[in-house]
Amino acid sequence: MLKLKNTLIIIGFLFLSFNLLSQNSLQSGCVVYNIKMNPKQSVKNIQGSRGFHQMRKKMENVFPKLKFTLRFDRNESIFFMNPNLEIDGKEFLNKLAIIATRGESKFFINKNEKLVLEQKSYFGEDFLVKFSTDDLKWTLINEKKIIGKYTCYKAAVKRVNSGPLKKGEKFSTYIAWYCPDIPFNFGPYEFTALPGLILELSNDHIIYTASIIKLSKEETKIERPSQGKLITKEEFEGIGKKAFENR
Protein backbone atom coordinates (compact mmCIF):
# COMPACT_ATOMS: atom_id res chain seq x y z
CA MET A 1 0.00 0.00 0.00
CA LEU A 2 2.80 2.40 0.92
CA LYS A 3 4.64 1.51 -2.28
CA LEU A 4 1.52 2.27 -4.35
CA LYS A 5 1.06 5.61 -2.58
CA ASN A 6 4.68 6.59 -3.29
CA THR A 7 4.27 5.59 -6.92
CA LEU A 8 1.16 7.81 -7.26
CA ILE A 9 3.05 10.74 -5.69
CA ILE A 10 5.91 10.30 -8.16
CA ILE A 11 3.49 10.11 -11.10
CA GLY A 12 1.72 13.26 -9.89
CA PHE A 13 5.03 15.08 -9.51
CA LEU A 14 6.12 14.05 -13.01
CA PHE A 15 2.79 15.18 -14.48
CA LEU A 16 3.08 18.57 -12.74
CA SER A 17 6.69 18.98 -13.89
CA PHE A 18 5.74 18.10 -17.47
CA ASN A 19 2.86 20.58 -17.39
CA LEU A 20 5.08 23.39 -16.08
CA LEU A 21 7.76 22.56 -18.63
CA SER A 22 5.17 22.65 -21.42
CA GLN A 23 3.91 26.06 -20.27
CA ASN A 24 7.42 27.49 -19.99
CA SER A 25 8.22 26.39 -23.54
CA LEU A 26 5.48 28.61 -24.98
CA GLN A 27 6.96 31.57 -26.82
CA SER A 28 4.08 33.44 -28.44
CA GLY A 29 0.36 33.54 -29.03
CA CYS A 30 -2.69 35.24 -30.49
CA VAL A 31 -6.11 35.92 -29.00
CA VAL A 32 -9.26 37.17 -30.73
CA TYR A 33 -11.79 38.95 -28.50
CA ASN A 34 -15.52 39.30 -29.08
CA ILE A 35 -17.28 42.29 -27.55
CA LYS A 36 -20.75 43.04 -26.27
CA MET A 37 -22.44 45.66 -24.14
CA ASN A 38 -22.37 45.01 -20.42
CA PRO A 39 -25.87 43.78 -19.46
CA LYS A 40 -25.53 45.57 -16.12
CA GLN A 41 -25.80 48.79 -18.11
CA SER A 42 -28.92 47.89 -20.06
CA VAL A 43 -30.95 50.53 -21.88
CA LYS A 44 -33.62 50.49 -19.17
CA ASN A 45 -31.10 51.42 -16.47
CA ILE A 46 -29.64 54.46 -18.23
CA GLN A 47 -31.20 57.91 -18.11
CA GLY A 48 -31.60 59.73 -21.40
CA SER A 49 -33.97 60.61 -24.20
CA ARG A 50 -35.91 58.07 -26.22
CA GLY A 51 -33.62 58.80 -29.16
CA PHE A 52 -30.56 58.03 -27.05
CA HIS A 53 -31.98 54.68 -26.01
CA GLN A 54 -32.83 53.79 -29.60
CA MET A 55 -29.32 54.69 -30.73
CA ARG A 56 -27.76 52.63 -27.94
CA LYS A 57 -29.97 49.68 -28.83
CA LYS A 58 -28.77 49.87 -32.44
CA MET A 59 -25.16 50.01 -31.28
CA GLU A 60 -25.72 46.71 -29.46
CA ASN A 61 -26.18 45.18 -32.92
CA VAL A 62 -22.93 46.71 -34.18
CA PHE A 63 -20.70 45.52 -31.34
CA PRO A 64 -20.80 41.79 -32.20
CA LYS A 65 -19.41 42.65 -35.65
CA LEU A 66 -16.28 44.16 -34.09
CA LYS A 67 -13.40 41.79 -33.34
CA PHE A 68 -10.10 42.65 -31.66
CA THR A 69 -6.79 40.79 -31.83
CA LEU A 70 -3.96 40.56 -29.30
CA ARG A 71 -0.60 39.25 -30.58
CA PHE A 72 2.24 38.67 -28.13
CA ASP A 73 5.56 37.08 -27.36
CA ARG A 74 7.41 36.83 -24.06
CA ASN A 75 8.20 40.57 -23.92
CA GLU A 76 5.91 42.49 -26.28
CA SER A 77 2.31 42.65 -27.41
CA ILE A 78 0.12 44.59 -29.81
CA PHE A 79 -3.67 44.99 -29.66
CA PHE A 80 -5.87 46.25 -32.51
CA MET A 81 -9.32 46.09 -34.09
CA ASN A 82 -9.67 43.63 -36.96
CA PRO A 83 -10.59 45.08 -40.36
CA ASN A 84 -14.17 44.26 -41.29
CA LEU A 85 -15.53 44.97 -44.77
CA GLU A 86 -19.08 44.80 -43.40
CA ILE A 87 -18.40 47.82 -41.18
CA ASP A 88 -18.58 51.19 -42.88
CA GLY A 89 -16.42 53.46 -40.72
CA LYS A 90 -18.18 56.54 -42.12
CA GLU A 91 -21.68 55.41 -41.12
CA PHE A 92 -22.65 57.23 -37.91
CA LEU A 93 -23.50 54.28 -35.63
CA ASN A 94 -20.51 52.24 -36.81
CA LYS A 95 -18.24 55.22 -36.26
CA LEU A 96 -19.67 55.73 -32.78
CA ALA A 97 -19.14 52.05 -31.92
CA ILE A 98 -15.52 52.21 -33.11
CA ILE A 99 -14.88 55.33 -31.04
CA ALA A 100 -16.56 53.79 -27.98
CA THR A 101 -14.27 50.75 -28.23
CA ARG A 102 -11.14 52.80 -29.07
CA GLY A 103 -10.98 50.80 -32.27
CA GLU A 104 -9.10 53.53 -34.12
CA SER A 105 -6.03 53.03 -31.91
CA LYS A 106 -3.34 50.37 -31.69
CA PHE A 107 -1.75 49.52 -28.34
CA PHE A 108 1.83 48.28 -28.08
CA ILE A 109 3.47 47.05 -24.85
CA ASN A 110 7.11 46.35 -24.08
CA LYS A 111 7.29 44.59 -20.73
CA ASN A 112 11.03 45.07 -20.14
CA GLU A 113 10.78 48.82 -20.80
CA LYS A 114 7.50 49.06 -18.84
CA LEU A 115 6.23 51.00 -21.85
CA VAL A 116 2.82 51.41 -23.48
CA LEU A 117 2.43 53.16 -26.85
CA GLU A 118 -1.01 54.11 -28.11
CA GLN A 119 -0.95 54.87 -31.84
CA LYS A 120 -3.83 57.18 -32.73
CA SER A 121 -4.88 59.99 -35.07
CA TYR A 122 -6.20 63.32 -33.85
CA PHE A 123 -7.41 66.09 -36.15
CA GLY A 124 -5.57 64.48 -39.06
CA GLU A 125 -2.23 64.12 -37.24
CA ASP A 126 -0.72 60.82 -36.08
CA PHE A 127 0.56 60.42 -32.53
CA LEU A 128 2.32 57.81 -30.42
CA VAL A 129 1.14 58.47 -26.88
CA LYS A 130 3.44 56.86 -24.32
CA PHE A 131 2.90 55.99 -20.68
CA SER A 132 4.17 53.48 -18.16
CA THR A 133 2.81 50.07 -17.20
CA ASP A 134 3.63 51.09 -13.61
CA ASP A 135 0.49 53.27 -13.82
CA LEU A 136 -1.59 50.12 -13.42
CA LYS A 137 -2.42 49.50 -9.76
CA TRP A 138 -4.21 46.16 -9.78
CA THR A 139 -6.25 44.81 -6.90
CA LEU A 140 -6.30 41.00 -6.92
CA ILE A 141 -9.63 39.52 -5.85
CA ASN A 142 -10.16 36.02 -4.47
CA GLU A 143 -12.71 34.94 -7.08
CA LYS A 144 -12.42 32.58 -10.02
CA LYS A 145 -14.46 31.36 -12.98
CA ILE A 146 -14.05 29.19 -16.06
CA ILE A 147 -13.63 30.82 -19.47
CA GLY A 148 -13.57 28.18 -22.17
CA LYS A 149 -11.40 25.44 -20.70
CA TYR A 150 -9.31 27.81 -18.55
CA THR A 151 -9.60 28.69 -14.87
CA CYS A 152 -9.34 32.46 -14.48
CA TYR A 153 -8.96 34.78 -11.50
CA LYS A 154 -10.34 38.25 -10.91
CA ALA A 155 -8.52 41.60 -10.68
CA ALA A 156 -9.67 45.22 -10.74
CA VAL A 157 -8.12 48.58 -11.59
CA LYS A 158 -9.38 52.18 -11.77
CA ARG A 159 -8.55 54.07 -14.97
CA VAL A 160 -9.15 57.45 -16.60
CA ASN A 161 -9.02 56.79 -20.36
CA SER A 162 -5.45 55.64 -21.13
CA GLY A 163 -3.75 56.68 -17.95
CA PRO A 164 -3.50 56.56 -14.18
CA LEU A 165 -6.15 57.82 -11.80
CA LYS A 166 -5.68 61.41 -10.67
CA LYS A 167 -7.26 63.01 -7.63
CA GLY A 168 -10.73 64.36 -8.30
CA GLU A 169 -11.10 62.78 -11.75
CA LYS A 170 -13.99 60.57 -12.77
CA PHE A 171 -12.87 57.04 -13.44
CA SER A 172 -13.98 53.67 -14.76
CA THR A 173 -13.37 50.43 -12.92
CA TYR A 174 -12.05 47.69 -15.19
CA ILE A 175 -12.46 44.06 -14.21
CA ALA A 176 -10.00 41.53 -15.65
CA TRP A 177 -10.14 37.74 -15.56
CA TYR A 178 -6.64 36.38 -16.06
CA CYS A 179 -5.35 32.83 -16.47
CA PRO A 180 -2.14 31.86 -14.61
CA ASP A 181 -1.94 28.68 -16.71
CA ILE A 182 -1.19 30.85 -19.77
CA PRO A 183 2.12 32.46 -18.72
CA PHE A 184 1.91 35.76 -20.62
CA ASN A 185 1.28 39.06 -18.82
CA PHE A 186 -0.80 40.80 -21.50
CA GLY A 187 -4.39 41.70 -22.34
CA PRO A 188 -6.54 44.15 -24.31
CA TYR A 189 -5.44 47.78 -24.68
CA GLU A 190 -2.85 48.87 -22.10
CA PHE A 191 -3.92 46.27 -19.55
CA THR A 192 -0.93 44.17 -18.55
CA ALA A 193 1.20 43.14 -15.55
CA LEU A 194 -1.10 40.44 -14.20
CA PRO A 195 0.24 36.92 -13.47
CA GLY A 196 -1.40 35.42 -16.54
CA LEU A 197 -3.09 36.24 -19.84
CA ILE A 198 -6.31 38.31 -19.61
CA LEU A 199 -9.15 36.32 -21.18
CA GLU A 200 -11.93 38.72 -20.25
CA LEU A 201 -11.97 42.47 -19.61
CA SER A 202 -14.95 44.65 -18.78
CA ASN A 203 -15.96 48.10 -17.63
CA ASP A 204 -19.43 49.51 -16.95
CA HIS A 205 -20.29 49.51 -20.65
CA ILE A 206 -18.42 46.83 -22.61
CA ILE A 207 -17.23 43.25 -22.11
CA TYR A 208 -14.31 41.78 -24.10
CA THR A 209 -14.11 37.98 -24.07
CA ALA A 210 -11.53 35.72 -25.69
CA SER A 211 -13.16 33.58 -28.39
CA ILE A 212 -10.03 32.19 -30.09
CA ILE A 213 -6.79 31.39 -28.21
CA LYS A 214 -3.74 30.18 -30.10
CA LEU A 215 -0.49 29.46 -28.26
CA SER A 216 2.80 28.53 -29.90
CA LYS A 217 6.26 27.29 -29.04
CA GLU A 218 7.57 29.28 -32.03
CA GLU A 219 8.97 32.78 -31.63
CA THR A 220 7.20 35.60 -33.44
CA LYS A 221 7.97 39.21 -34.32
CA ILE A 222 5.79 41.93 -32.78
CA GLU A 223 5.91 45.06 -34.92
CA ARG A 224 6.49 48.19 -32.85
CA PRO A 225 4.40 51.17 -34.10
CA SER A 226 6.56 53.94 -35.51
CA GLN A 227 4.12 56.19 -37.36
CA GLY A 228 3.31 59.36 -35.45
CA LYS A 229 4.75 62.01 -33.16
CA LEU A 230 6.01 60.54 -29.89
CA ILE A 231 4.54 62.44 -26.93
CA THR A 232 3.51 61.81 -23.33
CA LYS A 233 -0.09 61.43 -22.21
CA GLU A 234 0.10 64.82 -20.50
CA GLU A 235 1.33 66.46 -23.71
CA PHE A 236 -1.47 64.84 -25.71
CA GLU A 237 -4.06 66.05 -23.19
CA GLY A 238 -2.61 69.56 -23.60
CA ILE A 239 -3.10 69.36 -27.38
CA GLY A 240 -6.70 68.23 -26.90
CA LYS A 241 -7.38 71.05 -24.41
CA LYS A 242 -5.94 73.67 -26.77
CA ALA A 243 -7.97 72.32 -29.72
CA PHE A 244 -11.16 72.46 -27.60
CA GLU A 245 -10.45 76.05 -26.53
CA ASN A 246 -9.78 77.13 -30.10
CA ARG A 247 -13.15 75.73 -31.17
Q: Which helix (H) or strand (E) holds 60?
A: helix 50-62
**How much is the pTM?**
0.82
- State the average pLDDT over residues 203-232: 94
**Where in the chain are the domains?**
2-246
pLDDT in tens, 59-84: 788 888 999 999 999 999 999 999 88
Residue 18 clears pLDDT 50, i.e. is over it: no
Residue 28 clears pLDDT 80, i.e. is over it: yes
- State the average pLDDT over residues 48-53: 59
118 or 57, which is more confident: 118
pLDDT at 138: 96
Residue 44 clears pLDDT 60, i.e. is over it: no
Calculate what percentage of the chain has a pLDDT beyond 90. Answer: 55
186 or 122, which is more confident: 186
Strand extents, DSSP E, 123-235: 125-132, 139-147, 150-159, 172-179, 197-202, 206-216, 229-232
pLDDT at 68: 97
Q: Which helix (H) or strand (E) holds 107?
A: strand 106-110
Residue 55 clears pLDDT 50, i.e. is over it: yes
Q: Which helix (H) or strand (E) holds 72?
A: strand 67-73
Label residue 7 left, alpha or beta by phi (over 0 means left) and psi (-120 to 50 means alpha): alpha
pLDDT at 242: 74
Q: Which helix (H) or strand (E) holds 52?
A: helix 50-62
pLDDT at 86: 73
pLDDT in tens, 182-204: 999 999 999 999 999 999 999 98
